[in-house]
Structure 1
């Protein structure tokens, strides 16, 4: 009973922690809604990526620590609240004019990473045998990455961005290089999927917020009602596909480093940000039909590929491979043709929702075929 109560406390605190990221995620997705002359400038897409990656990695770093070593003690609770404060600093500094707010963004990111390093260092100092060796590896790896990123304050012009992202890149790559070390202490797979599922709900909530804002900002007409319905159907289809797949994957016994789940969700979360911007442009027709089609297909494609990576990594039988890889690949090809050929924004928007509905149905059919539903 005591263990169950402690777990509930950690779960509620984790949810509180996730909710602090809502503002940062919302603002980051909003970066893509700055269109000019019917197109999104390449620099905007680059900024979206450069902002999203450290935001995802900052959240992921502490989430994976809690998954392996977390316990509901005072030090961990304080660390949660310290990181929340740094997340607020990051969120306040997210802007299309990234250069002007760079210093605050960097301080927020490095603060989160150093507080995570401190938690790993505690395990290194006080832990035993295997957990201690893994904590030592991650402490040193993440400390080097954070210090490289922090060194960017000493550099001029674009060199500061190079240093910041060099540190982030090293931070992300070193666990991949050290995978053989990390598998000695596998992640708790169901808990990891639950944590990423909570953030997925937040991102789907961002889509709903875009729909609500679209209805509030525009005169209510048949066009805006249709746009809202299409966006809602799309959010429901993504929810259905994601959580049907996640529930099934969580039931499988897996003892590994969880890196397919961890890194695959980077692209999945980026895709959901893109799809939220698609919903925005479904109300505000600021993109040309062709550019809207490319944006829609990019979001769908990135989601489909990342979902295959995260949820269908263990497909072995022929039927499993058909539903896990071949049908999504075929749907991706069909989507490319349809979304880039339709004549109006509304038609592309509706077709994208249809692609997600078909994808959700494929999962349902696939699971029923395996006797799991």
Structure 2
């Protein structure tokens, strides 16, 4: 417990949010905790993921498959990348003063503005037009400009990290100029997509190259691990929301039935299994020991947030099928099985880049896990690849229950397989990592 004489000083820091110098946090600080402000900030991003998932489901239901997927991938990357940039700065310089708080709130406003632009962006892609509609561009600029200001303040107030802080400010500024110019240029859709991919790749590569040339900002690896874990956890809530919406629509149409109970049980199992699987990866433990692995580990998370939200989109598509019809069971099975399979594969990728290890037991476990997902797609195809699902037909309702149950079974197999077999390999990989760390030099640590 704190000494009574120290409490007034601590309370003064917690309650008086005056301007404080951005001198950098201690990258070696143990048990660094996530702040309430960071959690508040995350909520706006979950709203963005949910909105993108709903639009994905709605456009899939209308048969606009490829444009819907392209829109979802674009929005998922843009939102995740902006979140990652803020998290990176907050881990290094989050001092909870009035400037940091106001900059964070402004970024949250930018996320909300971007969300309002999502329907127009999806519609633009559906008509082969530029998805950088005004609300998207304005929202993204509002999200990123406060980050530029914060990095410039850090460069001015933290001479030890001036070069890397200026580099981040320049990278974000150049990227924003690129997005704005692309938005106002009236280019055909193919060149627009190509330039988007080039801009995104450059914006992701530049920070890594700069850090290795100029030194690392004083971010905290353990704090970064917890931030990513919590956003993953909150995003899983989209799966639960999709499940309750689907069952709510079904029970409204037909009342409670064994199928409704089976569907909600399976949806909750999927959410729980994703949570269980993700937290089998010892991210914080390894990153605190080998912090330079954070770069590849964090990039592996970018598709994870989108794939988890896409599972929720598959469940939302189920809701649309129940309420309005027009969706085949085959389409539902694909919308559920593919994002769950991607989620499992990405978690395996995160594990692999974190521990820098792989063995054939992972491949065999992955194949066993994917088997029920493939079976779910086969059932959906046999029920009719194009015919809309008809819940008045008992066989269609049963087939829907079987599809969702098979998808849930795949998620459960992944958990059981790791508990029975995979944990041993994780322990062995950790022992190798710990052994390598004993001979590590100072270059293995972030240069604060």
Q: TM-score, normalised by structure 1?
A: 0.86
Q: Measure, in 1, the Cα distance between the counterparts of 2:150 and 2:32.
A: 21
- Of 150, 161, 167, 1:137 maps to 167
CA 1:54–1:215 in structure 2 vs 1: closer, same or farther (change >3 Å)?
same
Output one character per residue of 1:222-272: Cα deviation in whole Å (capped at 9) or x when no partner: 233322111111111111111232xx2211212216222321111111111
Q: In the alignment, what sits opposite 2:271? A: 235
- Of 423, 427, 436, 1:367 maps to 423
Alignment gaps of 5+ in structure 2: 3-8, 15-30, 125-129, 383-398, 431-448
Q: In the alignment, what sits opposite 1:326? A: 363
Q: What SS is found at the alignment partner of 1:244?
A: coil
Question: Offset of 1:51 from its aligned partner?
Answer: 1.7
82-91 or 152-161, larger mean C-alpha shift: 152-161
Within a 5 Å distance, the mapping from 1:1-373 to structure 2 comes to 11-34=35-58, 39-95=63-119, 96-98=122-124, 102-129=133-160, 131-156=161-186, 158=188, 161=192, 166-178=198-210, 180-181=212-213, 184-185=216-217, 187-218=219-250, 219=252, 220-222=255-257, 223-245=259-281, 248-252=282-286, 253-256=289-292, 258-285=294-321, 286-315=326-355, 321-322=359-360, 325-331=362-368, 333-335=370-372, 337-342=374-379, 343=382, 344-365=399-420, 366-367=422-423, 370=427
CA 1:84–1:178 in structure 2 vs 1: closer, same or farther (change >3 Å)?
same
Conserved in 1, the CA contact under 8 Å of 2:243 and 2:268?
yes
Superposition RMSD in Å: 3.1
Conserved in 1, the CA contact under 8 Å of 2:249 and 2:319?
no
Conserved in 2, the CA contact under 8 Å of 1:193 and 1:261?
no
> Alignment length, in residue pairs?
366
Conserved in 1, the CA contact under 8 Å of 2:109 and 2:142?
no
293-302 or 165-174, larger mean C-alpha shift: 165-174
Conserved in 2, the CA contact under 8 Å of 1:146 and 1:167?
no
Output one character per residue of 1:49-86: Cα deviation in whole Å (capped at 9) or x when no partner: 12221111111111111122322222211110111111
CA 1:196–1:348 in structure 2 vs 1: closer, same or farther (change >3 Å)?
same
Output one character per residue of 1:104-152: Cα deviation in whole Å (capped at 9) or x when no partner: 11111122122111111112222223x2221122121121111111223
Conserved in 1, the CA contact under 8 Å of 2:33 and 2:223?
no
Conserved in 2, the CA contact under 8 Å of 1:148 and 1:164?
no
CA 1:8–1:15 in structure 2 vs 1: closer, same or farther (change >3 Å)?
farther
Output one character per residue of 1:180-224: Cα deviation in whole Å (capped at 9) or x when no partner: 237644742221121112212221112222222223333233233
CA 1:333–1:8 in structure 2 vs 1: closer, same or farther (change >3 Å)?
closer
326-335 or 38-47, larger mean C-alpha shift: 326-335
Q: Measure, in 1, the Cα distance between the counterparts of 2:227 and 2:97.
A: 19
Q: Measure, in 2, the Cα distance between the counterparts of 1:135 and 1:3.
A: 29
Alignment gaps of 5+ in structure 1: none
Question: Offset of 1:21 from its aligned partner?
Answer: 1.9
Output one character per residue of 1:313-358: Cα deviation in whole Å (capped at 9) or x when no partner: 25467xx7355x3244323553564233224343222111111111
Question: Based on CA coordinates, which of the two structures has the bigger radius of gyration?
Answer: 2
Q: Measure, in 2, the Cα distance between the counterparts of 1:179 and 1:290.
A: 47
Q: Measure, in 1, the Cα distance between the counterparts of 2:229 and 2:61.
A: 37
Q: Measure, in 2, the Cα distance between the counterparts of 1:117 and 1:327.
A: 46
Q: Measure, in 2, the Cα distance between the counterparts of 1:192 and 1:9.
A: 10
Q: TM-score, normalised by structure 2?
A: 0.73
20-29 or 257-266, larger mean C-alpha shift: 257-266
Conserved in 2, the CA contact under 8 Å of 1:214 and 1:224?
no
Question: Offset of 1:11 from its aligned partner?
Answer: 0.6
